[in-house]
Structure 1
């Protein structure tokens, strides 16, 4: 039986899931991510693949791998803030030499979008944008079920658009440096970490985004203010995303996607930043949640290496 493997590489875990042609799960295994030893990282991937081969009785499955960060299309070298041991490495070449089978690479955010475009919340729409709101902010764009990666493979990196000075001044926010090397990137403000920083900057205690939301629900004034600022910045961000790619639907992912109020409040926060006649598309929760990364990676492999 032919199957496809999807591997989702994160900052703390690497997960392999094998699927058949109908996207039924056949096998799942995860291990911790080696973040300081590159050889151990490669062997962790190889161990998952060999384990799946043994469990399923095959050794020729095409593999899709969702890596965090950006892969330089010319040099092939990886840039990854979440798994720094990968930065500067020829990860694709090294894994190809080690595994000796068809491999297809995307980033983890794009794999999430591709998964939601196939049987997920974005299924049936001519185009969809999968927007991650977690420790960072980014995403992927799919048209007719196909991932649009772009010339550099970075299509969907809306979290690294710059926030305008007027908006920072309105909310008395500093210009923050970003791990990408730029300053004032949207993800520093609209991610879960961004919400926590906004709350702390207004005199609140140093807590995570989930705790800020809980405090606001309990009537804490500082937390309510932080959520209002965060909602306005998200409205601006998503309005620009709509103006840039005009998706038929937006599917949220990441930790903040679990906040029910986002789906209620975001359309009204987006609308003031759009010109007349532009409608806000549906904004939906994900169908697959955290499982979408490996599933999308397997879909990427299947699209490029269809059944024989």
Structure 2
């Protein structure tokens, strides 16, 4: 429970079905140990969903016993695509299918509803930020990292000096749509994989749940006649592959080896752009039995080509506590926004 008189921020992780909430004191203590989920109601449109976020906000304060007047800011994350300021894409998205979401300023709407400053990141950036701060601790503000979050798609984030690099339009760290070399990754006769975004051969077209269903299982199943997954509907088969992989199934390991290779090639590209201290992998693919998880991360590392100088200082690790990473990440971002001073003036005249 909350300590009397200690200011806090609230972190709200908005998802396709649920909101998760947490509370972080300004001196760095999370007051919620696990998930605090409530319905997100996003399918009912933005007005209903903003009220659901407000209920999540009120609920986590009631749970922790923190008075509302001690809240200094709110962190919010949602699935993308969205701008750096929290405006949902004008083209909509899988999670925001209701027409009223297109071009909707969810950050601004929640800020008006709660009458508190709201700091926004997409869910991939939020998870990346949490991984960075947990891994580096007191050194977080002096370190850099890149994260790849494997889910239905492939998200991620770039963190420099403890802060997320958002980019001019909020699209930095969209690793899923970076094109990767395919030579040596694809099997004999394997078609160039396609992504839901319309690209061919980007990282998400290999390393995502959608990729397993659309691109990888259609290639590998005919090469394993009689495999039980062939009898399953494609979407269900894709979700079952990880369980087979944990048990050492040959087909499943071939699928995940291609995904790990794709992430290694993605990290190789990142190494030449950002040269980070750490590379993090998160998502359902690594929320698995320890042997499978360690094998997958080792395979990613094996296919990440670093210079000797980079290899000496870089680390590879998993994003911890994925279910809580979003809410905790945006809570950290809210604290950092409160601590940040005014932007410096120009050094030369315009």
User: 2:27 aligns to what SS in structure 1?
Assistant: coil
Q: Once structures 1 and 2 are overlaid, which stretch shifts more, 59-68 or 194-203?
A: 194-203
Q: Distance in 2 between matches of 1:303 and 1:75?
A: 18
Match of 1:235 among 260, 264, 270: 264
Q: Within 1, Cα distance between the matches of 2:250 and 2:61?
A: 55
The 1-side partners of 2:86 and 2:208 are apart by: 30
CA distance in 1, matches of 2:249, 2:37: 39
Matched, 1:295 2:321: no
Q: How does 1:11-160 map to 2 (within 5 A)?
A: 11-27=16-32, 29-38=36-45, 39-54=47-62, 55-59=65-69, 60-72=71-83, 76-78=87-89, 79-85=92-98, 86-118=101-133, 120-123=134-137, 124=139, 126-160=143-177
* Structure 1 residues not aligned, in runs of 5+: none
| Distance change >3 Å, CA 180–CA 22, structure 1 → 2 | farther
Number of aligned residue pairs: give it.
Answer: 304
* CA distance in 2: counterparts of 1:245 and 1:73, whole angstroms: 20
Instruction: Write out the 4+ residue segments of structure 1 that deviate beyond 6 Å after TM superposition.
Output: none
- The alpha-carbon distance between structure 1 residues 306 and 198, as it changes in their structure 2 partners (threshold 3 A), is same
Pick closer, same or farther for the CA change 1:227–1:92 going to 2, 3 Å. Answer: closer
Q: Given that residues 6 and 16 in structure 1 are in contact (C-alpha distance below 8 angstroms), is that contact kept between their aligned partners in structure 2?
A: yes
Compute the displacement of 1:129 (Å). 1.4
1:70 aligns to what SS in structure 2? coil
In 2 relative to 1, CA 284–209 (structure 1 residues): closer, same or farther, beyond 3 Å? farther
Residue 171 to residue 283, structure 1, CA distance change in 2 (3 Å): farther
Deviates more, 1:26-35 or 1:146-155: 26-35
Residue among 207, 212, 225 paired with 2:241: 212
Rg comparison, structure with higher value: 2
**1:14 and 1:231, CA in 2 relative to 1: closer, same or farther beyond 3 A?**
same
- Are residues 260 and 95 of structure 1, via their aligned partners in 2, closer, same or farther at CA, if it must alter by over 3 Å? same
Q: Which has the higher contact order (CA 8 A, sep 6+)?
A: 1
Please give the alpha-carbon distance, in whole angstroms, between the structure 1 residues aligned to 2:42 and 2:302: 41
